[in-house]
Each structure stands twice: as structure tokens, then as C-alpha cells.
């Protein structure tokens, strides 16, 4: 497990999005990612598409992907759980190779949850048989690339759970 | 109120080279279309998502005219999508809505407040600059050319007659001529590579 004190830089995510030729970031802001939002708005190669409920992310991403663009989804675990049918039908059912970066609200390294958003997140993902990777800090960032590669290979959505979400990103 | 089949007949001469997502009107459109590889009859991947899907396609392909035939039941499930579409303002997106007032594929139960919802007013309130509402075929026919000549996003709601299905899903006759995968593959081949 990576060193939690190392922190997770939003620039690390931006670098992976650019490195994977992502064209659109379909997202709904969550509690601790404002640093990331600020960086995204300053990155001309990435177009932000702000949605109002997370289920819309999957159908939007499906349209973008079918049209030849490369979207990524950026939402919180609470919204992911609201999105089950849309994820099933529009992403899994349409074979959309999309990476979804999911803020893991409530997650703790020691596993003692005080937030049911965290309690059910991985159970939910397992129920859909979706592959996922946990990222806590910059030291784990290579898992983001693994997620992009796996999504392309399987033509299915793959999740990256951002375990540092509860602590907030570090700015570098 | 008018018939969906008649609406598609009136629309067909003005389709041009547009990509058409026929939504819940697909069974009528599929036999009228002269460009099946530019049709995207997806069936119902998950209710409420057609608007966002078509919007995403329009964003990815700004040089292509994208025409969606949505339904009021789908709109009600994801009304917030209208704000995203209006914000991004895709000039190539034409958003038609078949408002039959009911959930036709589940037996015809009315949607909430079916008689009183003004979807064009909602769309305008969400930021669509061009909106239309029709309750008869003649007015629709007289305006379709103008609608499709305007810059998108354009929102058009139409009061159509319900076509209620009440048989179990497993007993319904499949009207699609292609699988979903084949539909997407044909569309992508037709559109060619996306310009960066």
C-alpha cells in the first residue's frame, strides 16, 4: 500500500488524461476535487462536460465514444451508486471503453467506515462485475494507466477509486 | 394530437444526410429511412439516456447534423440533461420529443401530470434558445424545414397518439433489423474517423 502521506496531486490525473488522449471529462463535482476542477478549466486539450446527475455521465460518455471521442467520467461513489441502470445499459451494454474516476467518499485505510457511502461502494462495483483499482497517492498512479489499458482491451468501463478523496488532493 | 408514423413521413424528405436516433419511434422510422447506416435505433439501453447519448454524439461530431426523437417519459427521468445540452449549445443537435402522455411500453399508464406539462417551456427555461410545440400534423409539416435550418440546439415537442403495448416483453416482436453492435459499427464506418 502506498504512503498516504505522499498525497495525491490533481496534476497526476491531468497528466494521465492527456497521456491517454482523453478529449472530454464528463463530471459532476464532488466534495474534495475543486483543485482538480481548477486545473481542468485551465487545460485547453480537455473539454469539461458538467452533468447534473451521475447517471447522465454514462449515456453522455457512450455518445462521445461512439462518435470517436475519448471521454472519461469523474464522479463520486455516492453518484456511482445512483447510476447503476445507466452504467449497465449505456456503458456495459454498449461496450464503451471508458475509465470512471470515482471519489471514494468515506474510505479509510484501516477499514473502519463511518460513512455508508464507503461501506457499500466496492460491494456495488462487484455486483456489476466491474474491474477497479484503488489509488491513494501519486505512488499508485500507474494503476490509472492500467485502468485505461484494461478499458480498451475489454471494451468495458473500468473504475479508479480515488482513496484520497476524503482527505483532499495536495496541490503541487 | 397526431400519429407518430405520419410525423416521420413528414420529416423524412427533410432528413438530408443527418444521423437519426429514432428512439421510441424507431419501428416507424426504420421502414422509411433511405440511409439505414446513419440511423441509430438503439432500442432502450436504459430509460432516460437518449438525450445525453445523442448530445454526446453531437459533441464528438460537430460537423454532422444529429437528430433525436426522444420521449417525454425519458425527459422526465433525466430532466437535468437539458441544462447540460443548453450550456454546451451544440449547433448540430435537434431534439424532438414524442409526447404521448403515457408510459406506452408498460401498458399506457399516464406520466406524472401528463395533461399539464409544457416540455418546450421547460427546455426554454433550461436554456434552449429555439423551442417549438406542435399538437397537429399540419403545423409540424409547415415548420419542419425551418426547424432543421436553424442552429441547434433546437427543441421540438409534439403531442402524439399513444401506441400502447401491453404484452410481456419476452413476447414482443423485435422490429430492429440489426443488432445494437452492428448498428454502431455501421454508423462508425459511415462517419469515418473523427477529426481531432
> Inter-chain contact A52–B52, Cβ cutoff 8 Å?
no
Which residues of B fall below an 8 Å CB-CB distance to A?
42, 44-61, 78, 80-81, 83-84, 87-88, 180-181, 184, 187-188, 191, 193-194
Distance CA A89, CA B48 (A): 11
CATH number of the domain bearing residue A148: 3.40.50.970
Give DSSP secondary structure letters for chain A: ---GGG---HHHHHHHHHHTT--EEEE---TT-HHHHHHHHT-TTSEEEE-SSTHHHHHHHHHHHHTT--EEEEEEHHHHHHTHHHIIIIIITTT---EEEEE-TT--TT---S-HHHHHHHHHHHHTT--EEEE-SGGGTHHHHHHHHHHHHHTS-EEEEETTTTT-PPP-
User: Is A154 within a domain?
Assistant: yes
CB A132 within 8 A of CB A123: no
* B115/B1 Cα distance (integer angstroms): 12
Right CATH for B4-191 from 3.40.50.2000, 3.40.1160.10, 3.40.50.970, 3.40.50.150 = 3.40.50.970
Report the complex ipTM. 0.96
Q: Does residue A61 fall inside a structural domain? A: yes
How sure is the predictor about B167, in pLDDT bands with cuts at 50, 70 and 90? confident
Four-CA torsion B86, B88, B93, B95, nearest 10 degrees: -30
Q: Which of the 8 DSSP states describes residue B48?
A: T
d(CA B38, CA B27): 15
Residue A92 in domain: yes
Per-residue pLDDT at A163 exceeds 90: no
Mean pLDDT of chain B: 95
The SS3 call for residue B157 is strand
Q: Is residue A167 scored above 60 in pLDDT?
A: no
Residue A172 belongs to some domain of the structure: no
Say if A167 falls within a structural domain. Answer: no
Give the chain A residue whose CA is nearest to the CA of B42. Answer: A94
Residues of A in contact with B19 (CB under 8 A): none
Task: Give the pLDDT score at A6.
Answer: 61
CA closest to B44 among chain A residues: A89
Give pTM, 2 decimals: 0.94
Out of B44, B55, B83, closest to residue A52 by CB: B83
CB contact under 8 A, A66 and B59: no
Amino acid at each position: 500500500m502506498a504512503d498516504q502521506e505522499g498525497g495525491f496531486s490533481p496534476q497526476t490525473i491531468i497528466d494521465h488524461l492527456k497521456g491517454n488522449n482523453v478529449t472530454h471529462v464528463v463530471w459532476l463535482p464532488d466534495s474534495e476535487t475543486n483543485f482538480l476542477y481548477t486545473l481542468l478549466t485551465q487545460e485547453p486539450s480537455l473539454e469539461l462536460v458538467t452533468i447534473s446527475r451521475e447517471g447522465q455521465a454514462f449515456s453522455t460518455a457512450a455518445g462521445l465514444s461512439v462518435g470517436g471521442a475519448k471521454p472519461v467520467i469523474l464522479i463520486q461513489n455516492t453518484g456511482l451508486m445512483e447510476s447503476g441502470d445507466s452504467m449497465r445499459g449505456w456503458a456495459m451494454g454498449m461496450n464503451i471503453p471508458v475509465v470512471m474516476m470515482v471519489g471514494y467518499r468515506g474510505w479509510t485505510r484501516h477499514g473502519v467506515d463511518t460513512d455508508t457511502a464507503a461501506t457499500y461502494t466496492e460491494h456495488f462495483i462487484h455486483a456489476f462485475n466491474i474491474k477497479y483499482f484503488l489509488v491513494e497517492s501519486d505512488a499508485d498512479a500507474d494503476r490509472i494507466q492500467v485502468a485505461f489499458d484494461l478499458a480498451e482491451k475489454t471494451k468495458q468501463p473500468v473504475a479508479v477509486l480515488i482513496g484520497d478523496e476524503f482527505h483532499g488532493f495536495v496541490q503541487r | 394530437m397526431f400519429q407518430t408514423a405520419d410525423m416521420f413521413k413528414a420529416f423524412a424528405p427533410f432528413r438530408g444526410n443527418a444521423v437519426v436516433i429514432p428512439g421510441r419511434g424507431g419501428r416507424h422510422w426504420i421502414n422509411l429511412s433511405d440511409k439505414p447506416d446513419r440511423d441509430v435505433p438503439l432500442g432502450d439501453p436504459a430509460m432516460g439516456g437518449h438525450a445525453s447519448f445523442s448530445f454526446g454524439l453531437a459533441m464528438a461530431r460537430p460537423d454532422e447534423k444529429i437528430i433525436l426523437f426522444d420521449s417525454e417519459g425519458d425527459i422526465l427521468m433525466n430532466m437535468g440533461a437539458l441544462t447540460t445540452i443548453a450550456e454546451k449549445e451544440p449547433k448540430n443537435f435537434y431534439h424532438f420529443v414524442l409526447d404521448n402522455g403515457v408510459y406506452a411500453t408498460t401498458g399506457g399508464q399516464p406520466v406524472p401530470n401528463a395533461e399539464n406539462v409544457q416540455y418546450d417551456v421547460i427546455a426554454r427555461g433550461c436554456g434552449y434558445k429555439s423551442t417549438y410545440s406542435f399538437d397537429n400534423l399540419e403545423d409540424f409539416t409547415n415548420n419542419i424545414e425551418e426547424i432543421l435550418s436553424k442552429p441547434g440546439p433546437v427543441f421540438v415537442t409534439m403531442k402524439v397518439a399513444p401506441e400502447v403495448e401491453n404484452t410481456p416483453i419476452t413476447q414482443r416482436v423485435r422490429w430492429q433489423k440489426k443488432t445494437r453492435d452492428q448498428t454502431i459499427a455501421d454508423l462508425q464506418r459511415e462517419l469515418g474517423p473523427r477529426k481531432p
